[in-house]
Amino acid sequence: MIDFYLNGQRQSGVEVPPDTSVLELLRTRLGKTGTKEGCASGDCGACTVTIGEPNADGELEYRTANACITPAHQLQGCHLVTVEGLARGDALHPAQAAMVECHASQCGFCTPGIVMSLFTLHENQRRTPAPLTQARLEQALGGNLCRCTGYRPIRDAALTMGDYPDTHPSWADDPGLAVDVGKQRQAAPAELAGQGHFSAPRDLAALRRLKAERPQARLVAGATDLWLETTQQLKALDDLIDVRRVAELNEIDATDDGWWIGAAVPLSRLEPLLEEAYPAFAHLLHRFASQQIRNRATLGGNIANASPIGDSPPVLLALEARLLLDGPDGERELPLGDFFLDYKKTALADNEFIRGIFLPRPAADQNLKVWKLSKRREDDISAVLAAFAWRLEEGVMRDVRLAFGGMAAIPRRVPRTEAALEGQAPSLEAFAAAKAALDQELSPMSDVRGSAEYRKLAAANLLERLRLMIDTTHNDTKVTLDAYAH
């Protein structure tokens, strides 16, 4: 049973099976059909809703989510806002009014999702005004596809909605809403009766206990990978332990050597730290899925999912990150490089979970470059991802760590290629030797994202790009490099 608020209205004791999505709950149980289903896989954004959760100051912070892959149980103690909850009587919300005025809707299928992304942008803009740059617009709308109107009118709506009178929904006038949602959140964790379980422990001790009692239960964090098992493969997900509310898994602790990042910290919360410590990693996050996904996806989920094309593992490998694994039998630390064993196989025992990820502080002269190759710039999975870390000491490369995604059954470093560059000047000869080693060291597969030949060539070309970047005697190549740098 879950308790939450929907468009300012309290919903109490809503009974839903564990594998019900927010979209299913809305459309089939609550009669709210404004939210549409397009792909049911988090790709199109037609189902975008806004979820308000209390922050440390007790205020509700609103973020977009894909309702099709968000577990309904995770609404416990949240304020869910849908397209039905925006207008104030007959007066449209500025996001809606601007969409009408700019003729930004044709068949209308994508429109509720786009309106919710614009509403969330408007809401955040109202709280923290900032210029609506191209980058911010891309961020807000990159997870919403429109197949008939075209994006110019939608962009116009985004740029002009701030000029409309601020007609906010009537629930926004309720000063007690945040307090009420906060109280609901503190209520007893949801332990579902009916078919299977959905448990939402609040602390490490409870998570360990549940893992001991139900080692077979699937862990769920942001659900942006897991939920596809039910929407795409029609598998039952009827025994789930939700790690999102476990306090210890939500902490970011700074130490002298680096940062322990809780496994359940959503990617969007990581951005400020990465902007500061590793701008190249932060830049990659802007190309990781969409804002809707980044608001929910966690670093722990990205690692545990162990996909050969997951974006963060190669970067974390190049930075020599470590994992803290935990469970009823105790905790242990493991270099990330020892975690991935084979395709989707990891060193995690059945009753273990990832508690945290240690990100070392960069050395003063450390360099990091991360390049993601994918067919689309927004909301696409990598064909190849390269993460290169190195230092230059008296003209030679030191601490060279090169890692790739999409080039083997697991994300991995390439020790022989690294050895070819370690202690060498970034010369044509050294890089030729590195490319030869790389050719021997990796055997990628062919799939819809790229053939094995393409991947090999692309990986070697990324090494060449690295050489051109380091070799400052070739300034004339800089323009080309910047033009393609994503």
Ligand X SMILES: Cc1cc2nc3c(=O)[nH]c(=O)nc-3n(C[C@H](O)[C@H](O)[C@H](O)COP(=O)(O)OP(=O)(O)OC[C@H]3O[C@@H](n4cnc5c(N)ncnc54)[C@H](O)[C@@H]3O)c2cc1C
Could you list the residues that contact ligand X (CB under 6 A)? 41-43, 218-226, 243, 263, 288-289, 293, 296-298, 300-302, 304-305, 310-311, 353-354, 379, 381
Partners of 246 in the β-ladder? none
For residues 87-106, which are near ligand FES according to CB under 6 A? 105-106
Q: What does the DSSP assignment read for 147-185? A: SSS-HHHHHHHHHHGGGS-----GGGG-TTHHHHHHHHH
Distance between CA atoms of residues 243 and 218, nearest Å:
10
To the nearest whole angstrom, how small is the minimum distance from the Cβ of residue 40 to ligand FES?
Answer: 5
Distance between CA atoms of residues 250 and 264, nearest Å:
5
To the nearest whole angstrom, how small is the minimum distance from the Cβ of residue 213 to ligand X?
Answer: 17
Question: DSSP assignment, residue 7?
Answer: T
Name which position in 24, 43, 418, 441 contacts ligand FES (CB under 6 A). 43
Distance between CA atoms of residues 309 and 484, nearest Å:
21
Token pair for 304: 């545990």
Query: Nearer Cβ to ligand X, position 178 or 243?
Result: 243
Choose the stretch contacting ligand FES; rule: CB under 6 A; options: 38-46, 94-102, 156-164, 210-218.
Answer: 38-46
To the nearest whole angstrom, how small is the minimum distance from the Cβ of residue 67 to ligand FES?
Answer: 6
Residue type (1 letter), 157: A
Query: Nearer Cβ to ligand X, position 171 or 227?
Result: 227
To the nearest whole angstrom, how small is the minimum distance from the Cβ of residue 68 to ligand FES?
Answer: 3
Name which position in 14, 22, 25, 40 contacts ligand FES (CB under 6 A). 40
Residues 468, 477 contacting (CB under 8 angstroms): yes
Token pair for 55: 């922050």
To the nearest whole angstrom, how small is the minimum distance from the Cβ of residue 190 to ligand X?
Answer: 16
Name which position in 110, 178, 297, 434 contacts ligand FES (CB under 6 A). 110
Query: Nearer Cβ to ligand FES, position 81 or 400?
Result: 81
Check binding of 45 to ligand FES (CB under 6 A).
yes
Query: Nearer Cβ to ligand X, position 102 or 226?
Result: 226
Which uninterrupted H or E stretch holds 198? Answer: strand 197-199
Name which position in 49, 146, 220, 274 contacts ligand FES (CB under 6 A). 146
Tell me how crowded residue 106 is: count the other CB atoms within 10 A of its CB: 14
Nearest to 458 by CA among 402, 409, 400, 386: 386
Tell me which of ligand FES, ligand X, none is bound by residue 289, counting a contact when its beta carbon lies within the kind-specific cut-off of 5 to 8 angstroms: ligand X
